[in-house]
Structure 1
Amino acid sequence: MPKILKQFLTFALVGLCGTGIQYLVLWLGVAWRGDSAAVSASAIGYLLGSVANYLLNYFFTFKDQHGQKSHREAAAKFYTIAGLGWLLNTGLMLLFVDMLAWAHWPAQLLTTAIGLLWNFAGSRWWAFRHPASA
């Protein structure tokens, strides 16, 4: 199996943890505050899930790629990518749910798929990339 495919599959599996956290917060937010809370609950869940994703990706998905890269450098880059991903997630949820009146679950599923591609590319080619492999 090509290394990039193995990394992508590991990244996606690791991402299930963060996505599970995000979806739980979305579900709880909508159950507690109604459909009007879908965008904010998704945004909060994304932030909480990103903590689990960083740690799992640092120690498992990209462990052979970051070499001696410090947590300070890797985390700063990862959270830059995640911050832009958060903007993407929140913007797409606003578009789909508030502007286009989609149901929040189909909107979140599509948004998650788009975010997966963004986050993998940024993590692989920037956040966890060791300078020697550039």
Structure 2
Amino acid sequence: MKTSARIAVQLFKYLGASIAGTLVHYSLLIILIRSLSLKPLWASTSGAIAGAMVIYVLNYFVTFQSTRGHISASSRFFFIAAICTAVNGWVLNFAMTQMNLPLAPAQVFATGAQFSVGFAVHRGWTF
């Protein structure tokens, strides 16, 4: 398969893994706010961590079909995930406090901010 076609397939699978992880992220975000009255930043961060675990497994086995050992791949993945989680929190906070966006659009904005960077880094370095 040509490199460009392979990248397109990986991008599509990465999108699917990201959607699955985002569903976990947003679901936990809503549950933690409604059930435990957590502040949006903490609920979102908790959801992002849970979503990252789902995304790691799907990307390791499905998207990139990695042959890298789990210790190496997972440490790289979660290093980048930690950076992306911090970016998520920063963008969410900025969007809510400086742009005066409500939670839902602010969270969508924060999620979109990390998608393409995550794909490029994970494709080129993590897996």
Q: Which residues of 2 match residues 29-68 of structure 1 at below 5 A?
A: 29-32=32-35, 33=37, 37-63=39-65, 66-67=66-67
Partners of 1:30 and 1:45 in 2: CA distance: 11
Runs of 4+ in 1 over 3 A off after TM superposition: none
Identity of aligned residues (%): 26
Instruction: Give the letter for the 2:60 counterpart.
Output: Y
- Do the aligned partners of 1:39 and 1:97 also contact (CA within 8 Å) in 2? no
Who is 2:117 aligned against?
118
Normalised by the size of structure 1, how large is the TM-score? 0.85
SS at 1:2 equivalent: helix
- 1:84 deviates by 0.6
Contact 2:28 2:43 in 1 (8 A): yes
Q: What are the within-5 Å matches in structure 2 for residues 100-111 of structure 1?
A: 100-111=99-110
Q: Which runs of 5+ in 2 are unaligned?
A: none
1:71 aligns with 2:74: no
Could you tell me which runs of 5 or more consecutive residues in structure 1 were left unpaired when the two chains were aligned: 129-134
Q: In angstroms, what is the RMSD of aligned CA positions?
A: 1.5
Q: C-alpha displacement at 1:117, in angstroms? A: 1.1
What is the aligned residue count? Answer: 123
**Equivalent residue, structure 1, for 2:18:** 15
The structure 2 residue matched to 1:24, chosen from 24, 27, 30, is 27
